[in-house]
Each structure stands twice: as structure tokens, then as C-alpha cells.
């Protein structure tokens, strides 16, 4: 566990005629955060989805602890948490039920842990309500609780601060800070930038 790294070598990806990823190259060590910036359509989401193996790049590779992730994709997936720009929540279930199923499918989870995570993101007051009745910002808080609960070394977050108020953005910064402090890594796609309180940050600027 001591030398966890995420290395990305020379990723190339075309979408039809459009050359989206043009030789993306970076390395991330324990406790480091990568902020992926760029205009709409510059390939931030595509890069995240390529990193986690949902999309096959035409060229280049992703190395986790020095091993090509394609060699054991499931082991890599067990080490990562991906949050797309829509929180993966069922609108007919309550926030708590959602986390119970979503996180429980991946790891053993006690009710106390669940409650603590909901409290951490300020979701205790609305966690028994069906997600359809929650605001976009409240849903994002619930999703962030889920990411934290997964307790995995690598977070891939797509626009984590969208829909959040100032306090919510600081919450994201705090959660990322905790993840980095325990030696985890974070890759966050953000078009506005992460809050300034996130330390140990490298920025990757994608050109449109």
C-alpha cells in the first residue's frame, strides 16, 4: 500500500473525427490531487471515464501501482470511487436506502457508519426523505457521503462542487483534504476550479 501511484501515459482518444484526448500524460502519488480544468467539451468527463476503464483509449495506458489497469480491471475498480455529474441515486428511495444499497454492494457497511457519513455531509436532517424531494445540492451531498463511505484510495470526481453553496464547496474541499491526508488520491474535473483550501494540488489544463 505504501507506494500507490496512478500513472497515465500518452492517452489518445478520438470521438469520430474529433481528437479529444491528445497525449494526456501525468502521474499522481499518495496524498496528491489533480484538478482537471478546461472549457466545456474539452474532454474532462471523457478523461475521467477513460481513467476508470469505461472507455477504451486508442493509444496510451493507465497504470495503477505500476500495473496496466486493463490486466485486472475489477481489482482496479475495487480501489476507485467514481462520481459522474449525476449523483447515482434512485429518486424513489430515501437517501439512506440509496447509500445502503449502492455502498453495500461494494463493502460491508454498518448502520452507524452510514449515519456518521450522512452527518459529515450535513444530510442527517433529510436522509429519510425520498431523493425525488431533495434539491440538486442535497443530492450531491448524499452522493459525496457515498464516495467517502467507499473508503477507497482513488477518487474520480466529475464536477464535485456543481450545485453546491459556499458551505457545500468547503465541505467538498474538506472531504478531499481528508482523503489526501490519509494517503488517498483525487482526480477532479472542474471548470471553475476547486476551493483554494485544497492543498497539494496539480492542475491539468485541457485545451478545447
Partner 1 sequence: MSPESHAGHALAPVRTSLEPTAETAPAAPAADAFEAARLALLRDLQLAFRKRSQLIQPLAFFAMVTLLFPLAVSPELSRLRELAPGVLWVGALLASLLAVEFLFRDDAYDGTLEQYALSGQSLTALMFAKTLAHWLLTGFPLALMAPLAALSLGVSASALPGIVAAVAVGSVTLSLIGSIGAVLIFGARATELAIHGAPAHAPLELLAALAVLGTTLAPLAAAAAVRISLE
Place of cell 480491471: 73
Phi, psi of 92 (to 5 degrees): -90, -5
Helix (H, G, I), strand (E, B) or coil at 50: helix
The H-or-E segment that residue 34 falls in is strand 33-37
Reported as half-sphere exposure (CB side, CA atoms, 13 A), residue 29 has a value of: 3
- Grid coordinates representing 33 are 490531487
29 binds partner 1 per the rule CB under 8 A: yes
74 binds partner 1 per the rule CB under 8 A: yes
Which CB sits closer to partner 1, 75 or 136?
75
Count of residues interacting with partner 1 (CB under 8 A): 68
111 binds partner 1 per the rule CB under 8 A: no
CA distance 40 to 63: 27
Among 70, 71, 101, 119, binds partner 1 (CB under 8 A): 101
Among 64, 102, 126, 155, binds partner 1 (CB under 8 A): 102
Nearest approach, Cβ of 202 to partner 1 (angstroms)? 5
- Grid coordinates representing 201 are 494540488
Q: Which residues bind partner 1 (CB under 8 A)?
A: 1-2, 4, 19, 21-32, 35, 38, 52-56, 74-75, 77-80, 82, 84, 86-93, 97, 100-102, 104-109, 151-153, 180-184, 196, 198-207
Amino acid at each position: 500500500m505504501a507506494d500507490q501511484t496512478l500513472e497515465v501515459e500518452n492517452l489518445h482518444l478520438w470521438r469520430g473525427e474529433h481528437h479529444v484526448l491528445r497525449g494526456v500524460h501525468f502521474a499522481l502519488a499518495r496524498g496528491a490531487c489533480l484538478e482537471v480544468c478546461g472549457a466545456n467539451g474539452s474532454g474532462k468527463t471523457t478523461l475521467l471515464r477513460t481513467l476508470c476503464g469505461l472507455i477504451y483509449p486508442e493509444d496510451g495506458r493507465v497504470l495503477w501501482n505500476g500495473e496496466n489497469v486493463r490486466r485486472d480491471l475489477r481489482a482496479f475498480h475495487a480501489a476507485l470511487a467514481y462520481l459522474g455529474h449525476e449523483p447515482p441515486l434512485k429518486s424513489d428511495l430515501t437517501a439512506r436506502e440509496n447509500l445502503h444499497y449502492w455502498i453495500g454492494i461494494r463493502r460491508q457497511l454498518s448502520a452507524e457508519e452510514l449515519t456518521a457519513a450522512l452527518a459529515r455531509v450535513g444530510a442527517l436532517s433529510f436522509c429519510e426523505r425520498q431523493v425525488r424531494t431533495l434539491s440538486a445540492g442535497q443530492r450531491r451531498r448524499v452522493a459525496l457521503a457515498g464516495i467517502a463511505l467507499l473508503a477507497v484510495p482513488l477518487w474520480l470526481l466529475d464536477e464535485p462542487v456543481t450545485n453546491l453553496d459556499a458551505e457545500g464547496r468547503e465541505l467538498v474541499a474538506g472531504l478531499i483534504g481528508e482523503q489526501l491526508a490519509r494517503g488517498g488520491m483525487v482526480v477532479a474535473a472542474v471548470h471553475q476550479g476547486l476551493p483554494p483550501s485544497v492543498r497539494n494540488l496539480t492542475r491539468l489544463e485541457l485545451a478545447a
